[in-house]
Amino acid sequence: MSTATPTRPSAARERILDAAFALFYARGIRAVGVDLIIAQSGVAKATFYKHFPAKDDLVVAYLDKVDGVWTGQLREAARAAGEAPAAQLVGLFDALGTACRREGYRGCAFINAAAESQPGTPVHDRTVAHKAAVLGWVRELAEQAGAPDPETLARSLTLLLDGGLASGSLDASPEAPNVARDCAAALVSAATGGSV
């Protein structure tokens, strides 16, 4: 049995990933070249390629980082709504309001990445995996809330969430997250037979 301690990512790798995180989200994946990331992160080209042999490797790492942040925000917003799964299904939409009000908000990083990648590539596969994981978690909450058709409720809520993310970028309406939350409350209430 191995008792090896997990290794911390190198400081250079983290600088590269931090630069990519900011640049990819602000400008788009295709618009940002490796040379710009190298310049912004202050690493040598050899160091960059040691950590990320291909740009797609960096994009997948960027999406992993976004996944950690966004999934954490969704789960925290759900927990803050209380113990009841039905309340959590509505409460997770509070993360949408926070995201859409953030300076420099450009919509969902996963939807943006999917639009810039071809199906079957590692980048596209990572976007699909993220959306499937969110759907699975929402489905579990819907089951716990007693929805007779948790799959349909989960799919409806995640479509509403994705629509809210897109609307927040397209029209920048401060009301869009509230409308999405109200719609989610109506869907959850109708599906579970209770008020939320």
Domain with residue 92: its CATH number is 1.10.357.10
Q: Is 2 within the bounds of a domain?
A: no
Q: Transcribe the chain into DSSP letters.
A: ---PPPPPPPHHHHHHHHHHHHHHHHH-TTT--HHHHHHHHT--HHHHHHH-SSHHHHHHHHHHHHHHHHHHHHHHHHHHT-S-HHHHHHHTTHHHHHHHTSTT--S-HHHHHHHTS-TTSHHHHHHHHHHHHHHHHHHHHHHHTT-SSHHHHHHHHHHHHHHHHHHHHHT--TTHHHHHHHHHHHHHHHHHTS--
Q: Tell me: do 38 and 121 sit in the same domain.
A: no
We report the CATH number of the domain holding residue 24 as 1.10.10.60
Number of domains the chain contains:
2
Q: Is 87 within the bounds of a domain?
A: yes
pLDDT digits (tens, 9 = 90+) for 107-157: 899 999 999 999 999 999 999 999 999 999 999 999 999 999 999 999 999
Q: Tell me: do 31 and 87 sit in the same domain.
A: no
Q: Is 85 within the bounds of a domain?
A: yes
Model confidence band, residue 7 (pLDDT cutoffs 50, 70, 90): low
pTM: 0.89
pLDDT digits (tens, 9 = 90+) for 31-84: 999 999 999 999 999 999 999 999 999 999 999 999 999 999 999 999 999 999
Q: Is 40 within the bounds of a domain?
A: yes
Q: Tell me: do 78 and 157 sit in the same domain.
A: yes
- Residue 120 confidence (pLDDT): 95
Q: Tell me: do 85 and 32 sit in the same domain.
A: no
Domain region containing 156: 55-192
Q: Is 107 within the bounds of a domain?
A: yes
Q: Tell me: do 135 and 164 sit in the same domain.
A: yes
Q: Is 63 within the bounds of a domain?
A: yes
Q: Tell me: do 128 and 77 sit in the same domain.
A: yes
Q: Tell me: do 44 and 115 sit in the same domain.
A: no
Q: Tell me: do 37 and 106 sit in the same domain.
A: no
Query: CA-CA distance, 58 to 61, in Å (whole number)?
Result: 5
Q: Tell me: do 84 and 168 sit in the same domain.
A: yes
Q: Tell me: do 148 and 184 sit in the same domain.
A: yes
Q: Tell me: do 132 and 188 sit in the same domain.
A: yes
Q: Tell me: do 61 and 45 sit in the same domain.
A: no
Q: Is 4 within the bounds of a domain?
A: no
Q: Return the structure tokens found at 14.
A: 């983290």
